[in-house]
Structure 1
Amino acid sequence: MSRPAPLLLLLTCLLFFFALGNHQLQGSTEPRVAGIAMEMHLDNDWVTPRLFGQPFLEKPPLSLWLDAGAIRAFGGTPLAVRLASAFAGLFSVMLLYSMLRRFGRPTTIAWVAGIMLATMASYWGNVRGVGEDALLSLGVTLALLSFYQAHRQQAEQRGAMGSWLLFAVGIAIATLSKGVLGLAMPGVVIFAYLLAESLIDKRFSLPRWMGPALATLLGLIPLVIWLFMLYQRGGSQALAEVLLTNSIGRFDGSFVEAGHYEPFYYYLAKLPEAFLPWNILVYLGLWHFRKSLANNRYLLFFTLWLLAQFLMVSLASSKRTVYLMSLTPAAAVLAAEYAAVLYERLRQHTEASTLLGKIARNRRGIAIGIISVLIVSYLAAAQWVVPRADRKLSFLPLTEQIQTMQANGQEVALYQANERTAGATVFYTHTLLKDLQTEAELTAFLAASPTHVALIASETEPKAPLKVLKQMLVGRQDYYFVAH
């Protein structure tokens, strides 16, 4: 590797791995996903993901396989279950850098695009958490960059087999991470690009369309194998839950339990914060390059990557800002390309005696200073700011209280536990507590023995005949340990 590549690798490793395990599971996604991975490790069932003993088929299990494997290798710690996301982010950054160099872009632009991706606030936060979105972004990035490289090689009548194989690997990663969405995210970009190219060139080329179609079939083989094994365990109902309920149902709004339903303009309102701190460069770049897209297929591809995916996620009923993560590599490229334009404009003013001239003469130092301040800020946040959130958001004190009661001979059960509570208790206690769903089950369990205790999440304090033994707060949710 050239010198810029090792520097980018070092800085990205610092950003993504520094202090990665110095805080507990936080938010709603981390406890749920970590709990499912722990349960997969405990029951050794690598086909059917389960949460609190029940099949959890919202997504295919690639991230869970990696998290469970990390638990088996390194122990059940928050660091272990965050490694897959952090490595996915690292691979995405280095992949973007190396592929831009293959596309013939200058080393500086490729490096700046990589560091911009690594320092986008939303991207940085997501690759340092437990979940499947960093893997989805890696799969989509690998598929789309490989597609564009193969497309260029075909246009130059060069062999593209290696690029198509990488494309298939990207499709496999994306679909094993997010199912149908993992196919749609790169698919909509490829369709938009090939259609735009056909309209610009005023001709239709079947081989250009057949390449990604055939490579996609190859990339779907791992997902099909898992679906077949899942069908053997859970039948057609399990397949329908993965492919219809949790994919199409989230898109058209028929799966009401999924939540996250927002109006169509939800992401438009999020644009001011979507690609911070580089969002201004992204949007100005889109405007600046708009007239050159027909003659510059490279810029056309990354522009359509951003716009086509944005339109697709906006049309979906279920919306979360993390769904924009697969757009960030394209945003980083557009921001880096426009930054190069501004940098060149500044160079033309180096002889001026004005403030602009002074800035122009020190433009390299200013750019290095901005990036350095950002990196130091992220590292400081990882070391001090994020762990402070444990005081309010960590489930560790709650699970430690459960373990203390168990050590004193009390049997603890959960009453109508939500996903985060169920996941956190499995992850931290390494056991499945009794799951009580109805008031009758709660009453019977507590009446069976004076040592029985139930954990209840409630907005108000439970009333008699329940006796509150202890109250704890996680986030904004009150939890009560109750007995008869």
Structure 2
Amino acid sequence: MKPSRRILRLCLITAAALLLYLPGLGRPALWEPDEGRYAEIAREMYASGDYVTPRDDYVRYFEKPPLMYWAETASIAVFGANEFAVRMPAALCSAGQVTVVAALADVMLGPAGALLAAVALALSPLFFGFARFATLDPGLSFFMVAALAAFYAAAHREDFGSGAGRRWFWVAAAMLAMGTLTKGPVALLLAGAVALAWLISEGRAREALRMPWVSSIALFCAITVPWFVMVAERNPGFLRFFFIHEHVDRYLDSTEHGWGPWFFVPIVLAGTWPWFFFVPLGVREMSRSDERSRSDLRFLLIWFGLIFVFFSIPRSKLGEYILPAIPPLAILAGLGIKTALGFDAARIRRMFGWFAAINLALASGAAAALLVAGHRLGPALVRDGLMIAATVALTVVICLAIAWDRHARTAVLALALGMVVTMGLASRAREDAAALSTYRNLAHQAARHLKPGCVLASYRHFVQSLPFYTHYREALVSFRGELAPFSRSPDATASFIPNDNDLKRRWASGACMVLIANRRDLPYLLRELAPTPTVVGCEGKKFALVNDSASTPDPDCQAHAPGPSSPAR
């Protein structure tokens, strides 16, 4: 096939992915805590012009390197400080990742398999969700996937040291450097482990000696070292905190999140469904094919398995950590679907019959659970969940009917379209879930009472998106949280109110103050603070209070606020 046609196909796949991820990207409020944190770090970078030292709530913040902050800052410069801008880098990285997977699958499976693999990845629920979420993991996943695809290309040239092999190896080194600047050395560690393990499995370990190590290391260092040197010079203690505390200590820590070793099993199954149904068929087809295909299968299984095991070992786990392991499953699913399209009529009917039965059972179970226990979520989310379950059920019934009539390709198309509708409904559900963990409305209510010289404070918690929406520093009362490591710096003192006594003194001083408090703390604050706080806003479990008795209370929030006679704490 002509290279120009292949490039055109990849461009069309990229455009389709962007059409999936960009519409409505800025509608949902920033989700706490991750989206609020990363959005505010980028906003402060843009406002201050300091692109070396990341800051969150004006406190030095070194948990992650700056590449995605830089990308969000560039987006803010173009689109303004809003939700669309800070989510744009994740959407672009996800669309790029779909393209890279399509290119890799094109080599392994051919054009049809590449398209199916791209569809399976782009419409996997976990991947789709984080493509529209302002966090670092889509960027890390993109650079790791691009590095592994480049390594695969280098490994299938005549020699790693040849012209083409060397150039692809340099691309891999550059991608790993970008991944390191996104989330640290985990990119280099995992991608390097996958590459080495695959070479060993192929009996090609000695070829590592012919890789262009000197030039690749020089390229990697040229990209990564300048920022590490500059930030370490400006911030004593950075290197130990970043490399030891943030990577070694956190990996070995048994307290954060506290999930068991099987955490990612349901995440992977649910996050790649319904496409995971076709993965075993893809594995079987590759294992029965020629040696090149079996080698590709080993590459994909090692890729998935090492990342899955690595992130399953520590107790500190989040669902998005597994994103770099999803692409090999998408490629296997693409091959599984391609293989199924060649089945005879009886086998296609049997396969789609099982597919429909499993999905109808899952949809029915989800609907029953929502009807029984959905009161905890609220009517809007129950409605959204029931609509998603109904869409899944309707989609698989339509697919079965079409497949029964011997139109398997049309059935797969119907499945893809059904997943597009399902993902759209899931996006609406995210907006309806705003009350669970977003505070955009509360921030806007508080901002109406902020004027030059006012102090914006939060009582014993940190609303990460509050500084982003108000453009005010958020003083944390009797709380430091994840800002603790560098909270003693002289430039950070204004971000903290050390204790309740200091809060009472400032509240009574007459200087303007807006305080954000949780519902459970409101009775205590209404009783202890003088003048008595006026409730001027609320959202979810939080309330906005002011120390200006002349302010007009919000009647709805006032009605829902517990009184000072309620149990204190």
TM-score by length of 2: 0.75
SS of 1:414's equivalent?
Answer: strand
What's the CA shift string for 1:136-184, capped at 9, x where partnerless?
A: 0110011000001101113596631321121122102211111021222
Question: Equivalent of 1:333, from 327, 331, 334?
Answer: 331
Letter in 1 for 2:469: Y
Within 5 Å, which residues of 2 pair with 1:110-121? 110-121=114-125
Letter in 1 for 2:264: Y
Q: How much has 1:349 moved relative to structure 2?
A: 6.3
- Tell me how far apart the structure 2 counterparts of residues 379 and 371 of structure 1 sit (CA, whole Å): 12
Question: Equivalent of 2:298, from 297, 300, 304?
Answer: 300
Q: How much has 1:39 moved relative to structure 2?
A: 1.2
Q: How much has 1:260 moved relative to structure 2?
A: 2.2
- Tell me how far apart the structure 2 counterparts of residues 346 and 116 of structure 1 sit (CA, whole Å): 23
Task: Name the CA shift for 1:350/1:51 in 2 (closer, same or farther; >3 Å).
Answer: closer
Structure 2 equivalent of residue 249 of structure 1: 249
Q: How much has 1:338 moved relative to structure 2?
A: 1.7
Structure 2 equivalent of residue 376 of structure 1: 421
Q: Does 1:265 find its partner at 2:276?
A: no
Within 5 Å, which residues of 2 pair with 1:389-408? 389-407=433-451
- Tell me how far apart the structure 2 counterparts of residues 138 and 358 of structure 1 sit (CA, whole Å): 35
- Tell me how far apart the structure 2 counterparts of residues 453 and 27 of structure 1 sit (CA, whole Å): 20
Structure 2 equivalent of residue 226 of structure 1: 227
Task: Name the CA shift for 1:137/1:209 in 2 (closer, same or farther; >3 Å).
Answer: farther
What's the CA shift string for 1:346-391, capped at 9, x where partnerless?
A: 4686999xx9996372111111111112123323443x43332335
- Contact 1:395/1:424, CA 8 A, preserved across alignment: yes
Structure 1 equivalent of residue 343 of structure 2: 345
- Tell me how far apart the structure 2 counterparts of residues 154 and 52 of structure 1 sit (CA, whole Å): 52
Within 5 Å, which residues of 2 pair with 1:75-474? 75-101=80-106, 103=107, 105-155=109-159, 159-198=164-203, 204-207=205-208, 210-211=211-212, 215=216, 218-235=219-236, 237-253=237-253, 259-286=256-283, 289=286, 296-346=294-344, 359=404, 361-382=406-427, 384-407=428-451, 411-416=454-459, 418-419=461-462, 421=463, 423-434=464-475, 435=495, 436-449=497-510, 451-457=512-518, 459-461=520-522, 462-463=524-525, 464-466=527-529, 467-470=532-535, 474=539
Q: How much has 1:55 moved relative to structure 2?
A: 1.1
SS of 2:128's equivalent?
Answer: helix
SS of 1:154's equivalent?
Answer: coil
Q: How much has 1:268 moved relative to structure 2?
A: 2.8
- Tell me how far apart the structure 1 counterparts of residues 465 and 34 of structure 2 sit (CA, whole Å): 10
What's the CA shift string for 1:291-342, capped at 9, x where partnerless?
A: 7697621111111111111111111331111001011111101111122222
Structure 1 equivalent of residue 545 of structure 2: 481
- Tell me how far apart the structure 2 counterparts of residues 471 and 292 of structure 1 sit (CA, whole Å): 68
What's the CA shift string for 1:177-220, capped at 9, x where partnerless?
A: 1102122221221122122122xxxx641436745786355324
- Tell me how far apart the structure 2 counterparts of residues 349 and 122 of structure 1 sit (CA, whole Å): 30
Task: Name the CA shift for 1:181/1:350 in 2 (closer, same or farther; >3 Å).
Answer: closer
- Tell me how far apart the structure 2 counterparts of residues 145 and 25 of structure 1 sit (CA, whole Å): 33
Letter in 1 for 2:126: S
Q: How much has 1:99 moved relative to structure 2?
A: 3.0
- Contact 1:16/1:128, CA 8 A, preserved across alignment: yes
Range that drifts further, 116-125 or 293-302: 293-302
- Tell me how far apart the structure 2 counterparts of residues 47 and 150 of structure 1 sit (CA, whole Å): 34
- Tell me how far apart the structure 1 counterparts of residues 60 and 150 of structure 2 sit (CA, whole Å): 35
- Contact 2:348/2:408, CA 8 A, preserved across alignment: no
Q: How much has 1:47 moved relative to structure 2?
A: 0.7
- Contact 2:516/2:542, CA 8 A, preserved across alignment: no
Q: Identity rate of aligned residues, in percent?
A: 23
Task: Name the CA shift for 1:412/1:15 in 2 (closer, same or farther; >3 Å).
Answer: same
- Contact 1:192/1:308, CA 8 A, preserved across alignment: no
Q: How much has 1:444 moved relative to structure 2?
A: 2.2
Task: Name the CA shift for 1:119/1:451 in 2 (closer, same or farther; >3 Å).
Answer: same
- Tell me how far apart the structure 2 counterparts of residues 205 and 346 of structure 1 sit (CA, whole Å): 45
TM-score by length of 1: 0.88
What stretches of structure 1 of length at least 5 have no aligned partner?
none
What's the CA shift string for 1:87-144, capped at 9, x where partnerless?
A: 001111112212333x253100011111111001000010111011110011001100
Task: Name the CA shift for 1:210/1:350 in 2 (closer, same or farther; >3 Å).
Answer: closer
Letter in 1 for 2:446: I
Letter in 1 for 2:90: S
- Tell me how far apart the structure 1 counterparts of residues 159 and 135 of structure 2 sit (CA, whole Å): 38
SS of 1:345's equivalent?
Answer: coil
Q: How much has 1:261 moved relative to structure 2?
A: 2.7
- Tell me how far apart the structure 2 counterparts of residues 215 and 347 of structure 1 sit (CA, whole Å): 52
Q: How much has 1:417 moved relative to structure 2?
A: 5.7
What stretches of structure 2 of length at least 5 have no aligned partner?
354-399, 476-494, 549-569
Q: How much has 1:271 moved relative to structure 2?
A: 3.8
Structure number with higher relative contact order (C-alpha < 8 Å, ≥ 6 residues apart): 1
Letter in 1 for 2:534: L
- Tell me how far apart the structure 1 counterparts of residues 30 and 242 of structure 2 sit (CA, whole Å): 26
- Contact 2:456/2:515, CA 8 A, preserved across alignment: yes
Question: Equivalent of 1:43, from 26, 39, 48?
Answer: 48
Q: How much has 1:426 moved relative to structure 2?
A: 1.6
Larger Rg: 2
- Contact 1:192/1:304, CA 8 A, preserved across alignment: yes
- Contact 2:109/2:335, CA 8 A, preserved across alignment: no
